[in-house]
Amino acid sequence: MINNKLKTYNQSQHGITIEDISPSARAIITKLLEHDFQALIVGGAVRDLLLGMHPKDFDIATNATPDQIKNIFNKDCRIIGKRFRLAHVYHNREMYEVATFRGMAASSERVVKRGHIIKDNVFGSIDQDAMRRDFTCNALYFDIENANIMDYCNGVDDIKKH
């Protein structure tokens, strides 16, 4: 499933345009980029666009922490989650999930209570984040700056097979 080798697909290879991305998602990403953070569309939206479908939502992944996201978006942001904190950013009456890239937690870094992990806030890099995702197609990242898809886990090939 995972080969840990980044494949990059340009627009002529995948056909997705910047205009296919929700204007609100683009605005949120642009604001994060203006604050010198990485920010990309991730997961199901990229899969749906590759399949020619309209995504029901656009999730965003970034290297900004939830607190940094909150500082940028202020009243338009709400931090949620106990085990893994992420931000809900509101734009034009729509909510967008903005999650920080996750890394692998050493077992000593996890906070465990009565056999349940209650805190797992280990932030990481984009490639670490891709390795943690449940399906290869959820490890696809779309960059609005250049319309490239970044594929760490052969998700594009898996989509083509189905």
Please identify every residue annotated as catalytic: 57, 59, 134
As a three-state string, the secondary structure of 102-153 is ECCCCHHHCEEECCEEEECCCECCHHHHHHHCCCHHHHEEEECCCCEEEECC
Token duo for residue 147: 């319309």
> How deeply is 21 buried, as exposed, middle or buried, from its count of CB atoms within 10 A (0-12, 13-18, 19+)?
buried
